[in-house]
A and B are shown apart, each in its own frame.
Chain A
Amino acid sequence: MNSHIYAVLHDVESMIVKTWRKRLSFRIACVLIAVVIVLAILGPHIAPYPRQGMGIDIDRSRALKPPSLEHILGTDSLGRDVLSRILFALNRAIISCIVVIAVSLILGIFIGSYAAIGSKIFEILISYFTELLLALPSVLLASLLSILMGGGYWSILIALIMTWFPWYSRIAYLQARSLRDLDFVKLPIYYGLSRWYVIQKHIAPNIVAPMLIEALSDTGSVVLEISTITFLFGIGVKSIEEPDLGMMIAYSLRDITVAPWTFLAPSATLALIAISFTLFSEMIYEEYHPVLKKRWWLWF
């Protein structure tokens, strides 16, 4: 198993290194992603005002202060330091997004490749079922689950997993279908090894590298989607004190005319995350695309 993981990581690494050498915007995107992840991990520890960041320390006398040396991104309507709030919220956003992406990637790979090498009936059932789940709108599913499950943060994560994993299972299915007629997949099945074993040993290592890149590119959209859902309905946010990017934006909309920094700082953070993840994957795609990597040279 270790050697498989090593091989996959090597594939991904070689893709990243090759693109890194050639594209400036890829380098910028990588640095931004690294900064965001480091900030998300260290955020709660390096926040200048951790108590305000958690939302415990509220003081209306210092509300809506413009950015200054003391508060680098200013303060919000309850007098909390916006930078500390963002650092706390970033931690939560990145963790939940990693959970969503990881779970749906694993589910997608296993379900998709099982559909490809399993029996015919199973294949048809799975492909219709994924199409069914793809038709469900994630926001409405999240709101449905929030009523059923009592409004926890889990309802958003489950709704997003339910709407994201069909994409991965579809990609995995298409890729595994091209592998299933090859000898190294057929022979172990003829020997009578179980299909799960074949998927783990022979199919997953071969399809996981491109899907990992795909998943990395979707990370930005998942962060955006989670914060959009919390922005809209406040699902999973118990109180306004909790740091959450979507809720911060929703509450700062009222003050946008008097204190635009309370709105702009969290939205710009989200935009930065989404754009850098998109650029990251797009650049790899472009570098490996047979047509796009060449310049257009025909004059007509």
Chain B
Amino acid sequence: MLTLNYIIKRIFISILLILGIVAITFILTQFTPGDPAVIWAGKPRGPGAAIAIAKAREYLGLNLPIYQRLALHIYRFFVGDWGLSVEFKQPVSYLVVRNFVASLEIVIYSFAIAIPLSMWMGTKASLSRGGLADKCIYFVSVILAGMPRFLVAALIYLALYIVGYGYLGLRVAPMYTTFSGPTGMITIDSLLLGRLDIFIDSFLRLIPTAIALSTYPIGVVARVVRVSLSETLEEEYVREAISLGLPRKVIVNKYARPNIVPVIAQLVGLLFSYMILETMVIENVFSREGLGTLISRAIAASDYPLIIGATVFTAIVLIVVNTLADIVQAITNPRVQL
């Protein structure tokens, strides 16, 4: 019951946070030096500039009082009208969601690789704490987490390039580009629609990027698993179980592991923000379509609506992920209270 209470409170807070994010972007558009309409129109120059600025002024409602403008901004955001991209001449919401989903696909796959592997590594290390295996795993994870992602990605790219791996660059082979599905993640859509050829193609294109990205969560999660599992193994109830003579597998899997699930959930939520940054780097190295390439083109063109949309959307996804992590934590660990 208390857990349900906590979950409801947490969801309410995250709705407030989302509203706060939208309001912050409004403040950024309105209270920065310079004419907001000029910035919104992408700092245009040339004969059409006056028309573009007038359009932007009308769109932003600059003659309205401030609270009405805020209401308009929030209303437009939830309706899905995030403005028109200056660079691409397409609705911002469409561009952002499409490219974000492309990046999210890599993040999901890399978590799917990283979490089982790092759980295994962390368990191994904590069961031989102070020993050779622990030291090896520890230094490998420090090095993996500390290496810049462009180094990892470029090394993988270089290795695949030399081997002659034919699946680099695009998200799918050019002949499948018209393919689209309900989620926007090509590997999942092709499975849902039963197109195995597309699945294999896009999966082979995705997997090097996912491996490159997964080095970061492997390094971080393995260390956290090692620390928290070591702490758990020192607790009274685990010692009791050991002294009862239960087999090692049962103790680790049934007694110690469930205790670190909330920690891992929390950590995945926190890592998410940094993973988006790393995904952009990897997309840049592999020259894949995604949020990174979108933003770099938008910056070159001072495409303000697009960047605002991308920032808000990413922030909202982060809030949702962190809320989910907190809910998982509350369910698995009833001691957590707000």
> Interface residues, chain A, CB within 8 Å of chain B?
25, 128-129, 131-132, 134-141, 143-144, 146-149, 220, 224-225, 227-228, 231-233, 235, 249-250, 253, 256-257, 260, 263-264, 267-268, 270-271, 274-275, 278-279, 282, 289, 291-292, 294-296, 298, 300
Q: A148-B39, A275-B143 are in contact. Are A296 and B130 (CB under 8 A)?
A: yes
Q: Which residues of A contact B227 (CB under 8 A)?
A: 289, 292
**Interface residues of chain A: helix, strand, loop or mixed (majority):** helix
Quick check: A144 and B307 within 8 Å, CB to CB? yes
Q: A228-B148, A233-B295, A275-B142 are in contact. Are A296 and B128 (CB under 8 A)?
A: yes
Quick check: A132 and B39 within 8 Å, CB to CB? no
Quick check: A295 and B129 within 8 Å, CB to CB? yes
Known: A140-B315, A282-B223. 6 other contacts (CB 8 A): A137-B276, A143-B299, A148-B34, A227-B148, A271-B147, A296-B230
Quick check: B148 and A271 within 8 Å, CB to CB? yes
Q: Which of B94-151 contact A (CB under 8 A)?
A: 126-131, 134, 139, 142-143, 145-151
Quick check: B146 and A271 within 8 Å, CB to CB? yes
Q: Which residues of B contact A25 (CB under 8 A)?
A: 139
Quick check: A138 and B248 within 8 Å, CB to CB? no
Tell me which of B129, B234, B242, B296 contacts A232 (CB under 8 A). B296
Tell me which of B129, B281, B315 contacts A135 (CB under 8 A). B315
Q: Which residues of B contact A291 (CB under 8 A)?
A: 230-231, 234
Q: How far is the CB of B95 from chain A (nearest CB, A)?
A: 14
User: Which of B13-21, B56-64, B75-83, B188-196 touches A?
Assistant: B13-21
Q: How far is the CB of A87 from chain B (nearest CB, A)?
A: 18
Quick check: B295 and A143 within 8 Å, CB to CB? yes
Quick check: B17 and A131 within 8 Å, CB to CB? yes
Q: A147-B304, A257-B161 are in contact. Are A228 and B149 (CB under 8 A)?
A: yes
> Interface residues, chain B, CB within 8 Å of chain A?
13, 16-17, 20-21, 24, 28, 32-34, 39, 126-131, 134, 139, 142-143, 145-151, 154, 157-158, 161, 223, 227, 230-231, 233-234, 239, 242, 245, 248, 251, 273, 276-278, 280-281, 284-285, 292, 295-296, 298-299, 302, 304, 307-308, 310-311, 314-316, 318-319, 322
Complex formed: what's the CA distance from A46 to B208 in Å? 41
Q: Which residues of B contact A268 (CB under 8 A)?
A: 151
Q: Which residues of B contact A296 (CB under 8 A)?
A: 126-131, 134, 230, 233
Q: A253-B285, A291-B234 are in contact. Are A275 and B146 (CB under 8 A)?
A: yes
Quick check: B277 and A274 within 8 Å, CB to CB? no
Complex formed: what's the CA distance from A146 to B310 in Å? 15
Complex formed: what's the CA distance from A172 to B16 in Å? 24
Complex formed: what's the CA distance from A10 to B281 in Å? 41
Quick check: B304 and A232 within 8 Å, CB to CB? no
Q: How far is the CB of B299 from chain A (nearest CB, A)?
A: 5
Quick check: B145 and A232 within 8 Å, CB to CB? no
Q: Which residues of B contact A141 (CB under 8 A)?
A: 311
Q: A128-B13, A137-B273, A233-B296 are in contact. Are A300 and B143 (CB under 8 A)?
A: no
Q: A136-B315, A140-B311, A144-B307 are in contact. Are A128 and B296 (CB under 8 A)?
A: no
Name 11 A/B residue pairs within 8 A (Cβ), A-sorted.
A143-B307, A146-B299, A220-B146, A228-B148, A232-B296, A260-B158, A264-B151, A271-B147, A271-B151, A274-B146, A291-B230
Q: How far is the CB of A165 from chain B (nearest CB, A)?
A: 15
Q: A267-B148, A271-B147 are in contact. Are A132 and B292 (CB under 8 A)?
A: no
Quick check: B16 and A274 within 8 Å, CB to CB? no
Quick check: A140 and B131 within 8 Å, CB to CB? no
Q: Taking CB as reference atom, which chain A residue is nearest B252?
A: A300
Q: Taking CB as reference atom, which chain B residue is nearest A132?
A: B20
Complex formed: what's the CA distance from A282 to B223 in Å? 10
Q: Taking CB as reference atom, which chain B residue is nearest A151?
A: B299
Quick check: A140 and B307 within 8 Å, CB to CB? yes
Tell me which of B151, B251, B307 contacts A267 (CB under 8 A). B151
Complex formed: what's the CA distance from A13 to B131 in Å? 28
Q: A148-B32, A300-B248 are in contact. Are A139 and B277 (CB under 8 A)?
A: yes
Quick check: B295 and A140 within 8 Å, CB to CB? yes
Q: How far is the CB of B149 from chain A (nearest CB, A)?
A: 7
Complex formed: what's the CA distance from A58 to B277 in Å? 33
Q: Which residues of A contact B147 (CB under 8 A)?
A: 271, 274-275
Complex formed: what's the CA distance from A267 to B281 in Å? 13
Quick check: A300 and B251 within 8 Å, CB to CB? yes
Q: A235-B299, A274-B147 are in contact. Are A228 and B281 (CB under 8 A)?
A: yes
Q: How far is the CB of B130 from chain A (nearest CB, A)?
A: 3
Q: Which residues of A contact B234 (CB under 8 A)?
A: 291
Quick check: A232 and B318 within 8 Å, CB to CB? no
Q: A128-B13, A232-B284, A256-B158 are in contact. Are A282 and B129 (CB under 8 A)?
A: no
Q: How far is the CB of A284 from chain B (nearest CB, A)?
A: 14
Complex formed: what's the CA distance from A135 to B319 in Å? 6
Q: How far is the CB of A61 from chain B (nearest CB, A)?
A: 27
Q: Which residues of B contact A132 (CB under 8 A)?
A: 17, 20-21, 24
Q: How far is the CB of A288 from chain B (nearest CB, A)?
A: 13
Q: Which residues of B contact A220 (CB under 8 A)?
A: 146
Complex formed: what's the CA distance from A220 to B142 in Å? 12
Tell me which of A128, A131, A137, A295 contacts B130 (CB under 8 A). A295
Q: Which residues of A contact B129 (CB under 8 A)?
A: 292, 294-296
Q: Which of B145, B146, B296, B307 has the most chain A CB within a 10 Å cutoff? A: B146
Q: Which residues of B contact A279 (CB under 8 A)?
A: 142
Complex formed: what's the CA distance from A256 to B158 in Å? 8
Complex formed: what's the CA distance from A109 to B39 in Å? 35
Q: How far is the CB of A65 from chain B (nearest CB, A)?
A: 20
Complex formed: what's the CA distance from A225 to B148 in Å? 9
Q: Which residues of A contact B149 (CB under 8 A)?
A: 228
